[in-house]
Amino acid sequence: MQTIQHWINGAYASPADSRHADVTNPATGKVSGRVALASAAVVNEAVAAAADAFPAWRDTSLARRVQILFNFRELLNARKGELAAIITSEHGKVLDDALGEVSRGQEVVEFACGIPHLLKGGYTENASTKVDVHSIRQPVGPVAIISPFNFPAMVPMWFFPVAIATGNTVVVKPSEKDPTAVNWVAELWKEAGLPDGVFNVVHGDKEAVDTLLEHPEIKSVSFVGSTPIAKYVYEKGTAAGKRVQALGGAKNHMIVLPDADLDLAADAAVSAGYGSAGERCMAISALVAVGGIADELVAKIAERTRTLRIGDGLRGTDMGPLVTKAHREKVAGYIEAGEASGATVVLDGRQVKADAEGDGFFLGPTLFDNVTPDMSVYTDEIFGPVLSVVRTETYDEALALINANPYGNGTAIFTNDGGAARRFENEVEVGMVGINVPIPVPMAYYSFGGWKNSLFGDSHAHGAEGVHFFTRGKVVTTRWLDPSHGGLNLGFPQNA
């Protein structure tokens, strides 16, 4: 059986760890490998490699850094099918979705290829008499990236291209549920010419995470995961003096106004609610039907959902399994709770018949109607293929639901009224807003991140905020004295 090892200083580490975890193919339920779980000593070894590599990488010219980034981009583009297949085999999402994940991550690589322009400082001549001032941005040092299971390639790529391009060295701790994708990326970096020690991978659980959060050589931490863990990472990391961007959970609402194109809205609700089996932090899980459109809209959603093929992601299906058996049972428990609390079960995913071999972790799309804000299917982030329809009479009621929610990651409104859309984008208290766009994930040159309990820290991922997160500003004031200068002046400079 394959043993998935750590990648440290440009090579796979020797199998010294005594603890391992099973890696499973969610479509078959079969164990496909074992992943080493790093001890503190192994994490320290990876951090030491990153720290040793940092001075030389920091001083590597921008031209050379960008050349390596372009090499990496070309290799990734040529071989992204390999990476997508790895993602499908360990996460379970269908192959087309996995290819989309890789492509969205590659956009950040391409953004980082323009880093020379983004690192330009400012210059002021004669800020004071014969005194010039200029600003520069410098890398922070070795950085840690702790990524989740739902996007094993894209989420790390939100961070490491910008971190590496700006001159930092990296230690990535991927999810132990689907660890192979980041190892594949590490090999690709080496092939692209990245010096050893600039990109390192450690696999593990809480012991590895805590070691990274406490290690004095780690200067910043980038995290994506559930809100309770994001808060823990933020508090523990900042207490250790580190910069932290910790992206947490979500409960994303989609408002449909009475004037909306209901066919478009139904297509969007199915795609955004059930894509990747709902295991997206940007998935739509609460649909708010305003006015008298709910009956028609629910019928259209149900009609479309019944056409979806559920099964192994390598068989051309529309939706794959959930990532683990335990997670599948957790989501099924929410369906039971929703039914018990009085929500109308329009479609029950527990009755799914999947196109797959073995005993995979399948749960079909579930649609609830007449959901109320006190039900757990509404209040909790389920992270599965469960879509809840809430009915309101007015736009104001719908907006109040969203703004009262403790999460603020993504939201959407479907309407043909430009005034209503403009009002919504102004009034809604959410970080990423879609207007007739159900999953408003921004392009790489903007930044990704939510408000409220969906983000701990001040900086969002990638874009200009990502560049600032992985660099520190420095301002230099310069005076070169000409030969005629002389004499003493004990007065305070007057900037004249």
User: What is the per-residue DSSP string for 107-130?
Assistant: HHHHHHTTHHHHT---EEEEEETT
CA end-to-end distance (rounded Å), the chain: 74
pLDDT digits (tens, 9 = 90+) for 329-385: 999 999 999 999 999 999 999 989 999 999 999 999 999 999 999 999 999 999 999
Q: Alpha-carbon torsion 33, 170, 447, 96, what sign?
A: negative
Of 389, 330, 328, give the one whose Cα is nearest residue 364: 328
pTM comes to 0.95
Cite the DSSP H helix spans in 32-179.
40-58, 62-90, 95-112, 115-118, 154-165
pLDDT digits (tens, 9 = 90+) for 400-427: 999 999 999 999 999 999 999 999 999 9
Q: How far is CA 4 from CA 33, 180, 181, 193, in A?
A: 7, 7, 11, 23
Could you tell me which residues are beta bridge partners of residue 474?
Answer: 136
pLDDT digits (tens, 9 = 90+) for 119-143: 999 999 999 999 999 999 999 999 9
- 360's tokens: 């995979």
pLDDT the model gives residue 79:
98
Q: Using CA atoms, how far apart are residues 163 and 54, in angstroms rounded to an integer?
A: 12
Chain centre to alpha carbon of residue 159: 9
Could you tell me which residues are beta bridge partners of residue 345?
Answer: 368
- 469's tokens: 């997160």
Of 410, 90, 47, give the one whose Cα is nearest residue 210: 47
Q: How far is CA 350 from CA 141, 307, 338, 342, 365, in A?
A: 48, 16, 13, 17, 9
Q: What's the rounded mean pLDDT across residues 456-483?
A: 94
Catalytic residue numbers read 281
